[in-house]
Amino acid sequence: MSDITRIESGARMSQAVVHNGVVYLAGQVGAEGASVTEQTETVLASVDRLLKEAGTDKTRLLTTQIWVADIADFAEMNAVWDQWVAPGHAPARWTGESKLAKPGFKVEIIVTAAV
């Protein structure tokens, strides 16, 4: 049986779970009310930090799911994403518009990566 490692685990959820050489991140969000650019930068910094704690990095991304509260913010979010993603290591990615958990959240990013 493979070990399961939980990172920043709480009563409701863990921020990351590692199993069988794969790390699954919970949806990461930025500060409520910040701009789309600021929230995306904060989210991607959280992704970097959690991936590092799991023993991997953004060059090992497998999939990324991005939710924006308003699809009109797609280009602004992508401007930050395009500067962050490692050249030659882009994951399979999908993006959609969705009402997020709190009205001030504009971007949520969910990542799966190989360890």
- CATH number, domain containing residue 98: 3.30.1330.40
CA separation for the pair 68, 108 (Å, rounded): 7
Range of the domain at 87: 4-114
Q: 59-112 pLDDT, tens per residue?
A: 999 999 999 999 999 999 999 999 999 999 999 999 999 999 999 999 999 999
pTM listed for this prediction = 0.95
Q: pLDDT grade, residue 1 (50/70/90)? A: low
> How many structural domains are present in the chain?
1
Q: Which residue has the tokens 């997020």?
A: 100
